[in-house]
Amino acid sequence: MAEARKLKNFINGEWVESKTTKYEEVYNPATKEIVALVPISTKEDVDHAAEVAQKAFDKWSKVPVQKRARILFAYQQLLEKNRNELARLITIENGKNTTEALGEVGRGIENVEFAAGAPTLMMGDSLSNIATDVEAANYRYPIGVIGGITPFNFPMMVPCWMFPMAIAMGNSFVLKPSEKTPLLTEKLADLLKEAGLPDGVFNIVYGAHDVVNGILDHPEIKAISFVGSKPVGEYVFKRGSENLKRVQALTGAKNHTTVLKDADLDQAVKDIISAAFGSAGERCMACAVVTVEEDVADEFMAKLKEAADNVKMGNGLDDGVFLGPVIREENQKRTISYIEKGLEEGATLVRDGRKDDLEGGYFVGPTIFEGVTPEMTIWQDEIFAPVLSVIRVKNLKEAVETANKSNFANGACIFTTNTSSVRYFRENIDAGMLGVNLGVPAPMAFFPFSGWKDSFYGTLHANGKDSVDFYTRKKVVTARYVAPEFN
């Protein structure tokens, strides 16, 4: 068998070999096939990319904003044209099904569209008369080189939360994608070049810890956007802040969904199946715990089990497949050990995903526990796999109190037809992204992705106007203009 292709870093508009001798296999998790070898790049690779990005910044930051925006318009067109190919790459390296992959591509494109509004988004404010003959105006400027560190679960959407807005604002960018899903970013870089982005404005350095540390410590990298797990996000936030950088870190989750007795149960089950098992549960917005009102719990559980039994598992490229594999063998083993832990700690296994046909890829079937309590490990930890816990509650108050015990607070959903319940939920739940009668309150380009507690470290979130603030700094000019001859 031919050796898999060795990937290169993208620096100064060229694909260049890393200085490393260490390469890691990139797998198709649905087939266990090796699809590429990714360089585990060195600090020297990061230094090179950061120097190049710094030089590019000097020119790019002075390009008029509408000219920068025009490159993003061209990029949007190219991404649209390559929609199917981008989705295919996502399914191959990540495992999610084609429909989900196309959805991810669409979300990434929306970020590019939002960033193309840079001339309006970058506008400052002014006041003509803050004192006699004195006015003040506030201007926005880019920051410099931005570092982006991204996870495996959204190879397109998450980088697109970062670099389109960062470069639209006049910054340059060094991206370190997940070493598990590097293929899609190759295409993102090629299309940016084709759209006319000057060399050096966008760079990719593939790798792991050394690249992350290189980004965190490099003096020319002024701000860092991180998306990934809680422990790594905490580390990135602390080390980046210690180095006096601006840091935003979007981290892990354990999202609760509440089903009240007045809800449309069929709709709730359909949406919860999709939210819990879609993308193999590897979504920061995945539904991990359901709290269901006792009065409808039996009916809800029967419908949920039946729907989970009908989930089709397999290679996401095949028609009709809903549930793909988890990303690696270690994730599959880790999930199975969580299922064992749930049993040991006394939860009831309503549907055992270990018994499905797991052959061929890193599969885990839809798994449902009942009788889960907040003392259990399966309630506390982010499992990040198709494992759902259900808790019966007396009422909405108990549901909210249960969810609020979690250290995570990324998203939360409610299914109900009672508007007062919606208001109570909104006012009392700890979470930054709320869904009402839907399974996944998905992040949109034009609103901030607003996780709370251990789901986010920083001040300004990704997306929306927060991202404009994060990737710019301000200058306030106060000026006196005296024109006595006109008075």
Q: How far is the CB of 210 from ligand NAD (least distance, A)?
A: 9
Residue labelled with tokens 């925006």: 69
Cβ proximity to ligand NAD: between 155 and 342 the closer is 155
Cβ proximity to ligand NAD: between 277 and 384 the closer is 384
Helix (H, G, I), strand (E, B) or coil at 445: coil
Q: Could you tell me the two tokens for 21?
A: 């001798």
Q: Could you tell me the two tokens for 98?
A: 């084609």
Cβ proximity to ligand NAD: between 331 and 421 the closer is 331
The type of residue at 484 is P
Supply φ then ψ for residue 370, to 5 degrees: -120, 170
| Nearest C-alpha neighbor of 68 from the set 119, 108, 113, 111 | 119
Q: Is 415 a known ligand-binding residue?
A: no
Q: How far is the CB of 4 from ligand NAD (least distance, A)?
A: 19
Q: How far is the CB of 182 from ligand NAD (least distance, A)?
A: 10
Q: Apex CA 233: angle with CA 61 and CA 222, to 5°? A: 20
| Nearest C-alpha neighbor of 20 from the set 37, 4, 33 | 37
Distance from C-alpha of 40 to C-alpha of 25, rounded to nearest angstrom = 10
What number of CA atoms fall less than 13 Å from residue 458's CA on the CB side?
34
What number of CA atoms fall less than 13 Å from residue 278's CA on the CB side?
21
| Nearest C-alpha neighbor of 50 from the set 171, 217, 218 | 218
Distance from C-alpha of 368 to C-alpha of 387, rounded to nearest angstrom = 6
Element (H, E) at 292: strand 287-293
Q: Is 152 a known ligand-binding residue?
A: yes
Q: Could you tell me the two tokens for 447?
A: 């609103």
Q: Could you tell me the two tokens for 7?
A: 């990937």
**Which position's Cβ is nearest ligand NAD?**
228
Distance from C-alpha of 2 to C-alpha of 26, rounded to nearest angstrom = 15
Active-site amino acid positions: 284
Q: How far is the CB of 178 from ligand NAD (least distance, A)?
A: 4
Which residues of this protein are in contact with ligand NAD, per CB under 6 A?
149-154, 158, 176, 178-179, 208-209, 212, 227-229, 232, 250-253, 284, 382, 384, 410, 449, 451, 455
Q: Could you tell me the two tokens for 410?
A: 């990324």
Q: Residues near 294 by Cβ (< 8 Å), separated by ≥ 6?
A: 392, 393, 394
Q: How far is the CB of 149 from ligand NAD (least distance, A)?
A: 5
Q: Strand pairing of 456-457 and 246-250?
A: antiparallel
Q: How far is the CB of 68 from ligand NAD (least distance, A)?
A: 26
Q: Is 329 a known ligand-binding residue?
A: no
Q: How far is the CB of 227 from ligand NAD (least distance, A)?
A: 5
Cβ proximity to ligand NAD: between 184 and 393 the closer is 184
Cβ proximity to ligand NAD: between 99 and 229 the closer is 229
Q: Is 397 a known ligand-binding residue?
A: no
Supply φ then ψ for residue 407, to 5 degrees: -75, -20
Q: Could you tell me the two tokens for 446?
A: 């034009």
Q: Is 24 a known ligand-binding residue?
A: no
Cβ proximity to ligand NAD: between 37 and 136 the closer is 37
Cβ proximity to ligand NAD: between 284 and 372 the closer is 284
Cβ proximity to ligand NAD: between 104 and 293 the closer is 104
Q: Is 176 a known ligand-binding residue?
A: yes
Distances (CA, A) of 273 to 68, 260, 266, 311, 434: 42, 17, 11, 9, 18
Distance from C-alpha of 166 to C-alpha of 248, rounded to nearest angstrom = 13
State the DSSP string of 49-115. Answer: HHHHHHHHHHHHTTS-HHHHHHHHHHHHHHHHHTHHHHHHHHHHHH---HHHHHHHHHHHHHHHHHH
Question: Which parts are annotated binding residues for NAD(+)?
Answer: 152, 176, 179-180, 251, 382
Question: Which parts are annotated binding residues?
Answer: 152, 176, 179-180, 251, 382
